[in-house]
Amino acid sequence: MDYARVEGAREYVARLEHGRDWREQIEVFANEEAIDAAFFFGIGAVQDAELWFYDQDEGEYDAIRFEEPFEVTPAVGNISVLDGEPFAHTHATLSREDGSVVAGHLESATTFAGELYVRAFGTSLEREHDPVTDLDLWPL
Ligand code: ZN
Protein backbone atom coordinates (compact mmCIF):
# COMPACT_ATOMS: atom_id res chain seq x y z
CA MET A 1 0.00 0.00 0.00
CA ASP A 2 1.28 3.45 -0.93
CA TYR A 3 0.22 6.44 1.13
CA ALA A 4 0.84 10.11 1.84
CA ARG A 5 0.09 12.28 4.85
CA VAL A 6 -2.34 15.07 4.04
CA GLU A 7 -2.84 18.31 5.98
CA GLY A 8 -4.60 21.63 5.79
CA ALA A 9 -8.11 20.24 5.82
CA ARG A 10 -11.02 22.51 4.91
CA GLU A 11 -14.60 21.37 5.40
CA TYR A 12 -17.70 22.27 3.43
CA VAL A 13 -21.36 21.48 3.36
CA ALA A 14 -23.19 21.93 0.09
CA ARG A 15 -26.65 21.58 -1.38
CA LEU A 16 -26.75 20.20 -4.89
CA GLU A 17 -28.95 21.95 -7.41
CA HIS A 18 -32.14 20.36 -8.74
CA GLY A 19 -31.95 19.26 -12.36
CA ARG A 20 -28.17 19.38 -12.73
CA ASP A 21 -25.76 16.47 -12.94
CA TRP A 22 -24.70 15.16 -9.52
CA ARG A 23 -21.02 14.59 -10.28
CA GLU A 24 -20.49 17.61 -12.54
CA GLN A 25 -21.67 19.96 -9.78
CA ILE A 26 -19.01 18.57 -7.47
CA GLU A 27 -16.36 19.10 -10.13
CA VAL A 28 -17.47 22.71 -10.77
CA PHE A 29 -17.36 23.36 -7.01
CA ALA A 30 -13.86 21.83 -6.80
CA ASN A 31 -12.72 24.08 -9.63
CA GLU A 32 -14.19 27.19 -7.95
CA GLU A 33 -12.58 26.35 -4.60
CA ALA A 34 -9.26 25.18 -6.12
CA ILE A 35 -9.66 21.74 -4.52
CA ASP A 36 -7.18 19.18 -5.86
CA ALA A 37 -7.69 16.56 -3.14
CA ALA A 38 -10.80 15.76 -1.09
CA PHE A 39 -13.18 13.11 0.11
CA PHE A 40 -16.93 13.55 0.25
CA PHE A 41 -20.18 11.85 1.00
CA GLY A 42 -23.70 12.84 0.14
CA ILE A 43 -27.31 11.84 0.41
CA GLY A 44 -30.36 12.85 -1.55
CA ALA A 45 -32.30 11.68 -4.58
CA VAL A 46 -31.76 11.49 -8.33
CA GLN A 47 -34.12 11.26 -11.30
CA ASP A 48 -31.99 8.84 -13.34
CA ALA A 49 -28.51 7.36 -13.23
CA GLU A 50 -25.72 5.90 -15.31
CA LEU A 51 -23.52 3.45 -13.45
CA TRP A 52 -20.31 2.02 -14.82
CA PHE A 53 -18.80 -1.38 -14.07
CA TYR A 54 -15.10 -1.96 -14.74
CA ASP A 55 -14.48 -5.17 -16.68
CA GLN A 56 -11.16 -6.25 -15.18
CA ASP A 57 -10.40 -8.66 -18.04
CA GLU A 58 -11.14 -6.20 -20.86
CA GLY A 59 -9.84 -3.10 -19.04
CA GLU A 60 -12.98 -1.18 -20.00
CA TYR A 61 -16.01 0.27 -18.28
CA ASP A 62 -19.45 -1.06 -19.21
CA ALA A 63 -22.30 1.43 -18.80
CA ILE A 64 -25.68 0.62 -17.23
CA ARG A 65 -28.37 3.27 -17.72
CA PHE A 66 -31.41 3.65 -15.42
CA GLU A 67 -34.34 5.94 -16.32
CA GLU A 68 -36.08 5.96 -12.94
CA PRO A 69 -35.93 7.88 -9.66
CA PHE A 70 -33.73 6.71 -6.77
CA GLU A 71 -32.79 7.66 -3.25
CA VAL A 72 -29.03 8.19 -2.91
CA THR A 73 -28.12 6.07 0.10
CA PRO A 74 -25.33 7.32 -0.10
CA ALA A 75 -22.85 8.53 -2.69
CA VAL A 76 -19.24 8.59 -1.54
CA GLY A 77 -16.16 9.61 -3.40
CA ASN A 78 -13.05 11.64 -3.74
CA ILE A 79 -11.80 14.56 -5.76
CA SER A 80 -8.44 14.58 -7.48
CA VAL A 81 -7.00 15.87 -10.73
CA LEU A 82 -7.38 13.98 -13.99
CA ASP A 83 -6.04 15.43 -17.25
CA GLY A 84 -5.66 18.83 -15.59
CA GLU A 85 -9.28 19.04 -14.37
CA PRO A 86 -11.00 18.14 -11.08
CA PHE A 87 -12.43 14.63 -11.22
CA ALA A 88 -15.02 13.50 -8.67
CA HIS A 89 -14.64 9.73 -8.48
CA THR A 90 -18.04 8.72 -7.16
CA HIS A 91 -19.61 5.46 -6.04
CA ALA A 92 -23.25 5.26 -5.05
CA THR A 93 -25.89 2.98 -3.68
CA LEU A 94 -29.29 3.92 -5.14
CA SER A 95 -32.56 2.64 -3.72
CA ARG A 96 -35.97 2.18 -5.33
CA GLU A 97 -39.50 2.59 -3.99
CA ASP A 98 -39.59 -1.10 -3.01
CA GLY A 99 -36.26 -0.87 -1.15
CA SER A 100 -34.23 -2.76 -3.71
CA VAL A 101 -30.92 -1.19 -4.66
CA VAL A 102 -28.48 -0.83 -7.49
CA ALA A 103 -24.93 0.28 -6.84
CA GLY A 104 -21.71 1.08 -8.57
CA HIS A 105 -19.40 3.68 -10.06
CA LEU A 106 -21.61 6.72 -10.69
CA GLU A 107 -20.88 8.29 -14.05
CA SER A 108 -23.87 10.64 -14.13
CA ALA A 109 -27.23 11.26 -12.51
CA THR A 110 -29.75 14.09 -12.65
CA THR A 111 -30.08 15.56 -9.18
CA PHE A 112 -33.52 15.80 -7.59
CA ALA A 113 -32.03 16.99 -4.30
CA GLY A 114 -28.68 16.44 -2.65
CA GLU A 115 -26.67 17.31 0.44
CA LEU A 116 -22.90 16.93 0.62
CA TYR A 117 -20.13 16.98 3.17
CA VAL A 118 -16.69 17.62 1.68
CA ARG A 119 -13.32 17.46 3.42
CA ALA A 120 -10.66 19.01 1.22
CA PHE A 121 -6.92 18.82 1.81
CA GLY A 122 -4.15 21.32 1.16
CA THR A 123 -2.37 19.03 -1.24
CA SER A 124 -2.64 18.02 -4.87
CA LEU A 125 -3.51 14.53 -6.02
CA GLU A 126 -3.15 13.95 -9.74
CA ARG A 127 -4.16 10.67 -11.33
CA GLU A 128 -1.74 8.82 -13.59
CA HIS A 129 -2.22 5.80 -15.78
CA ASP A 130 -1.48 2.57 -13.94
CA PRO A 131 -0.24 -0.17 -16.30
CA VAL A 132 -1.27 -3.03 -13.98
CA THR A 133 -4.98 -2.13 -13.80
CA ASP A 134 -5.20 0.15 -16.87
CA LEU A 135 -6.91 2.69 -14.57
CA ASP A 136 -5.90 6.28 -13.69
CA LEU A 137 -4.74 5.97 -10.08
CA TRP A 138 -2.91 8.10 -7.51
CA PRO A 139 0.90 7.91 -7.80
CA LEU A 140 1.58 8.08 -4.05
ZN1 ZN B 1 -15.07 3.85 -9.49
- Given a cut of 90, whether residue 137 has pLDDT beyond it is yes
Write out the H or E segment, with its range, that includes residue 9. Answer: none
What mean pLDDT is reported for the chain?
A: 97
pLDDT at 113: 98
Neighbours of 115 (CB within 10 A): 14
What is residue 32's DSSP assignment? H
Q: Tell me the CA–centroid distance for residue 91 and ligand 1, in Å.
A: 6
Measured in angstroms, how far is the CA atom of residue 135 from the centroid of ligand 1? Answer: 10
Contact between 113 and 46 under an 8 Å Cβ cutoff? The reply is no
**pLDDT surpassing 90 at residue 8:** no
Ligand 1 centre and the CA of 67: distance in Å? Answer: 21
Q: Where would I find the H helices in 5-46?
A: 22-32
The predicted-structure confidence for 23-56, as pLDDT tens digits, reads as follows: 999 999 999 999 999 999 999 999 999 999 999 9
